[in-house]
Structure 1
């Protein structure tokens, strides 16, 4: 009959930049991962916003309020905004 029983807990995952030399550097590396996650959420929300606007423009084509040219312009500008947003956030996270 054993006196002590220890559970088999998993080990903590290191951040993407590595564990670091000390606690401060390790926390900075975890902070970098958090910033990358926030950047991903920003891009995802931009994508959803562009899709919603394109869908609403598409639905207004059938009521006669918008034309196919306006829909194409909406999709093109939305795609351009997504590319610029991804580029800016990639540059911003590269500074960290």
Structure 2
């Protein structure tokens, strides 16, 4: 009988310890959630934000319409530069292909023709991009 009482007391203590462990775990979980919530709240920034870059064409304190028009002109100039770069890459790829053919077959006339025409095309593209930038400005 005494053994049963001791076992009963032991299991009661074990249940109490388990209950206390669960309570401590719940408190730790809630504290970590609260800390995470506080850590993710937005903080007040004490630094000044930089001013918005004005478009190089137009804008500069004018109306919103003037700023949008200036940004669109800058975007058009950027698009012209991208197209010029793409044209240069196409010419360079074509010249490399002709160079490979010329080294295998020994026909250097086509290679020189492709290079000269490619250089002329790239110069024309750059000239047109500069003229377009002047017109948009």
Shorter-chain TM range is 0.7 to 0.9
Alignment partner for residue 75 of structure 1, among 104, 111, 115?
A: 115
Answering whether residue 58 of structure 2 is matched by residue 6 of structure 1, we say no
Matched residue pairs, number? 92
TM-score, length of structure 2 as denominator length: 0.60
Unaligned runs of 5+ in 2: 1-42
Partner of 2:64: 23
Q: Which has the larger radius of gyration?
A: 2
Contact 2:91 2:118 in 1 (8 A): yes
Q: Say what the alpha-carbon RMSD is for the aligned residues.
A: 1.8
Alignment partner for residue 81 of structure 2, among 29, 40, 44?
A: 40
Give distance in 2, aligned partners of 1:28 and 1:86.
23
Unaligned runs of 5+ in 1: none
Give distance in 2, aligned partners of 1:30 and 1:84.
25
Give distance in 2, aligned partners of 1:7 and 1:71.
62
> Once the 2 structures are TM-superposed, how far is the Cα of residue 83 of structure 1 from its aligned partner?
1.1
> Which aligned runs of 4 or more in structure 1 are off by greater than 4 angstroms?
none
